[in-house]
Amino acid sequence: MTSILTNNGAMVALQTLQSINNNLTETQNQISTGKEVANAKDNSAIWAISKVMESDVSGFNAVSDSLSLGESTVAVATAGAEQITDLLKEMKEKVVAATGENVDHDKLNADVQSLKDQITSVIGASQFNGANLLNTAGGDITVLSSIDRDSTGAVTSSNITVSSVDFEATLTLANVDVSSATAAEGSISEIEQLIQVAVDGAAALGASASRIEKQSEFVSKVTDAMKSGIGSLVDTNMEEASARLKALQTQQQLGVQALTIANSAPSTLQQLFR
């Protein structure tokens, strides 16, 4: 039945066109923003997951900064420990030379004292942002190394503790004496112990530096993987969106034509009354 009051065909065509226009607007928004899920109404579950992951990425950025700071602190301390090891080796040469009788012990003693002063200076200067792993006051440092989220959503932090080698207390430089051949003879075992302490300390710091460096690389990879995961959840597939946009534009044109035809149908009734 054809009615001039109720045009069922036009209503169907209008609903179809409205649906096409909504889809077209949605697709255009996805292309312009680059996100398929830009807000909670697009897909509440995916949006919630992406926001949690984005917060974790921000946390890992802070972890990366902490690791960089810790790595720099340990690197300075390691450089200082290696320098002290070299100075102690040089001091050993002076001690061995002083065991001879026909040498100038006063000059050797002055050289050794100069090396002691240099070692003390290196210990004091081996600090980064106020943290010093070579002296007593500096103490251990704790480096934030990770944030861990379990299946319940609870978040905990992990740390790397770098122990101070405290050369200020462990390097008893006062026991090294080259004022005479006899004193120098007794100082050989002492300087060997000091060298071993310095070598062990430098090795420990080097191991900590290596651990922090590897953790920093891991955090960087995890952060990149999380960013990629977030992108796969919320980013627009531009090739697919482009194809969908073309199809919807064609559907829109056909929908307009269908609505035009449906709206013109009642006008054909005029011919019945001629």
The packing angle between helices 44-98 and 105-125, to 10°, is 170
The answer to whether 13 and 258 are in contact (CB under 8 A) is yes
Each residue's pLDDT tens digit, 5-32: 777 888 888 999 999 999 998 899 889 8
The answer to whether 178 and 95 are in contact (CB under 8 A) is yes
Each residue's pLDDT tens digit, 74-94: 999 999 999 999 999 999 999
Would you place residue 140 in the very low, low, confident or very high pLDDT band (cuts 50, 70, 90)?
Answer: very high
**Cα–chain-centroid distance for residue 163?**
23
For the domain with range 41-235, which CATH number is right: 2.60.40.420, 1.20.1330.10, 1.10.40.30, 3.40.50.9100? 1.20.1330.10
The answer to whether 94 and 115 are in contact (CB under 8 A) is yes
**Domain layout of the chain by residue ranges:** 41-235, 238-274
